[in-house]
Amino acid sequence: MKLVLRLLGVAALVALGVVIYRAVRQYREDSVFDLGAGTQPGTPASGEPRSISPELLAILADPGDKGPVELMTDSEGKEWLVNRRNGYRYPVEDGIPIMLLEEGEKNRDESLIIQQS
């Protein structure tokens, strides 16, 4: 019984190692893509690219303070609408902005705050 458990433990460690190695390799590949001009990692492979329309972007505001939001793409290619005053980030899911306060708060990134002069 002990032998079986020990073998399982070793197998789990090996699997974990493989997962980490793959994640690191994937991240490096993605980073290379980030440098390519005009590449859109967020574009779904299936059909037409679903990006947020410029018209909608022009009238979108933060649901809390009603101030402007900025379209930003993170290192994984995911689009966010960011309130630079409080760091709230609203996800864009398949081209649809999720402008819900609880989403913005949940995904808040304080490092994106720009202090108003």
Partner 1 sequence: MGIRNVVQRQFGPVAAEYAVSVVHASGPDLAVLVDVAAAAGAQRALDVGCGAGHTALAIAPHVASVVALDLAEAMLDQARHLAVERGVTNMAFQSGDAEHLPFPDESFDLVTSRYAAHHFPRPAVALREIARVLRPGGILLLVDVVAPPEPLLDTHLNTIELLRDPSHVRDHPVDEWRRMLASAGLYAELLGEWPLRLAFAPWIARMHTPPERAALIRAIFESAPGEVRAGLAIEPDGSFSVPTALLRGSKPLEPRLEEA
What's the closest the beta carbon of residue 17 comes to partner 1, in angstroms?
37
Rounded CA separation 31/76 (Å): 9
What's the closest the beta carbon of residue 4 comes to partner 1, in angstroms?
42
Rounded CA separation 105/32 (Å): 31
Of 52, 115, 103, 55, nearest to 79 by C-alpha is 52
Q: Is 99 in the site for partner 1 (CB under 8 A)?
A: yes
Please give the residues from 18 up to 77 whose contact with partner 1 meets the rule CB under 8 A: 53, 55-56, 59-64, 66, 69
Closer residue to partner 1 in complex, CB, 69/89: 69
**Which of the ranges 8-16, 23-31, 32-40, 93-101 carries the binding residues for partner 1, by CB under 8 A?**
93-101
**77 φψ region: left (φ > 0), alpha (ψ -120 to 50), beta (else):** left
Closer residue to partner 1 in complex, CB, 9/44: 44
Longest dimension (CA), the chain: 67
Tell me the backbone φ, ψ of residue 10, rounded to 5 degrees: -65, -45
Residue ranges that bind partner 1, judged by CB under 8 A: 53, 55-56, 59-64, 66, 69, 90, 93-102
